[in-house]
Amino acid sequence: MHISGKLAIVGIVLFIGGLITTFILAYVVADPITMYINELTPPAAIPGIIAYHGLDQPLHIQFFLYLRNLIAGNWVAPPEIVAVAWWAMTVVYLGGLFLSIISLVYYLLKGRKTG
């Protein structure tokens, strides 16, 4: 395999790894319900909030809801807080995505071996 093909694979792995890592940090390590409630939230509203945001679903369903919200730009915190808190992982998975795209384009245009 040409080096650009290997770089494309590395980029895809970085992108997917970054997505999984940010999901684990937000939904498994941290308590995700704290993103949606505060001290003024009435206790009777908490089950409805959990159901509305899919936090009562299995973890794999929550992951797909997380991806849907990322793509749609539906973040709980204001964008400047999200950027400060998650900038490192954002760089990793966006960098991985760009690396894979650039490497794949290079591989398709120049890197194929002709036999």
pLDDT tens-digit series, residues 36-92: 777 888 989 889 988 888 888 999 998 898 888 777 766 655 455 555 555 555 666
Contact 95, 14 (CB under 8 A): yes
pTM of the entire predicted model: 0.60
Written as six digits, the tokens of 102 are 């650039």
Q: pLDDT of 19-43, one tens digit each?
A: 787 788 777 777 778 777 778 889 8
Domain that holds residue 41: 3-111
Give how many domains the chain has, as a whole number: 1
Q: Measure the CA–CA gap between 98 and 59, rounded to whole angstroms.
A: 28
